[in-house]
């Protein structure tokens, strides 16, 4: 990987770059959740649209099932195969497949790699400073107002009510 910290040149202009130049980040929680990703839009200086190149290892799920009231998300499968959990339905997606999660579509979604090979895909979404995110599995509701998390007297931990054991 390049030692470059971003695709912004000395004149403040975002220039083209190889995706592998963006820092690789790892995420995991328990046995169930985990992925690796490169925030391409961050590296390029983007602030309105988020684009990440993600890889989901075999047997892992991306995150707890959720939906956004104000943000829209998109996924485009580049390589491999995975299962889209969309409410109670399951859809096998493969390279070349695409899905949109419109804002306000009240059905939770998450991605699960049911195969024995990694799956690579693009996640594209808005960066709305205000959003309400609902997690049907745990009953958690996350409120973000003008970029700040919202707290009341009673709050739930992000992982509260989520089984992070082996995926089902």
Is 74 within 8 Å of 123 (Cβ atoms)? yes
What's domain 20-128's superfamily in CATH? Jelly Rolls (2.60.120.10)
Sign, Cα dihedral of 61, 67, 71, 77: positive
Question: What pLDDT was estimated at residue 153?
Answer: 47
Is 167 within 8 Å of 61 (Cβ atoms)? yes
pTM of the model: 0.85
Q: Look at residue 14 and give its three-state secondary structure.
A: strand
pLDDT digits (tens, 9 = 90+) for 39-96: 999 999 999 999 999 999 999 999 999 999 999 999 999 999 999 999 999 999 999 9
Domain ranges of the chain: 20-128
Q: Give the mean pLDDT of 33-42.
A: 97
Q: Which residues contact 33 (CB under 8 A, 6 or more apart)?
A: 27, 60, 61, 62, 63, 64, 164
What whole-number distance in Å separates Cα of residue 136 and Cα of residue 109?
10
Give the DSSP letter string of 46-88. Answer: --SEEEEEEEE-TT-BSSS-BEESS--EEEEEEESEEEEEETT
pLDDT digits (tens, 9 = 90+) for 102-130: 999 999 999 999 999 999 999 999 998 89
Q: What are phi and psi of 15, to 5 degrees?
A: -110, 160
Tokens of 16: 């083209």
């Amino acid at each position: 990987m390049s030692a470059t910290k971003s695709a912004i040149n000395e004149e403040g202009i975002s220039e083209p770059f190889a995706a592998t130049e963006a820092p690789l980040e790892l995420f995991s929680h328990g046995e169930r959740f985990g992925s690796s990703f490169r925030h391409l839009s961050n590296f390029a200086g983007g602030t309105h649209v988020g684009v990440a190149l993600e890889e989901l290892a075999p047997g892992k799920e991306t995150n707890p099932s959720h939906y956004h009231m104000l943000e829209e998300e998109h996924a485009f499968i580049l390589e491999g195969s995975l299962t889209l959990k969309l409410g109670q339905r399951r859809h096998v997606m493969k390279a070349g497949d695409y899905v949109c999660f419109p804002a306000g579509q009240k059905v939770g979604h998450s991605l699960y790699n049911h195969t024995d090979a990694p799956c690579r895909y693009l996640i594209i979404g808005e960066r709305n400073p205000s959003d309400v995110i609902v997690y049907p599995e745990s009953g958690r509701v996350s409120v973000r107002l003008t970029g700040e998390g919202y707290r009341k007297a009673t709050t739930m931990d992000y992982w509260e009510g989520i089984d992070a054991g082996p995926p089902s």
